[in-house]
Amino acid sequence: MSEPVVRTELRAGDLGEIVAHHGRMYGEEYGVDSRFEGHVAASVGEVSRRGFPREREAIRIVELDRAHMGSLALTEEEDDCAAIRWFAFDRSVRGRGLGRRLLAELLDKARADGYRQVWLETFSELRAAAHLYREHGFRVVSEDTAPRWGRDLITYQRYELDLRPAPASEHSDAAANLA
As a whole number of angstroms, the distance between CA 111 and CA 123 comes to: 25
What pTM was computed for the model? 0.89
* The predicted structure's pLDDT at residue 164: 86
20 lies in which domain range? 5-173
Residues of the chain falling short of pLDDT 50? 179
Q: Residue 179 domain-assigned?
A: no
- Residue-wise pLDDT for 37-60, tens only, equals 999 999 999 999 999 999 999 999
Does 77 reside within a domain? yes
Tell me how many domains the chain contains.
1
Q: What are phi and psi of 157, to 5 degrees?
A: -125, 150
CATH assignment of the domain containing 32: 3.40.630.30
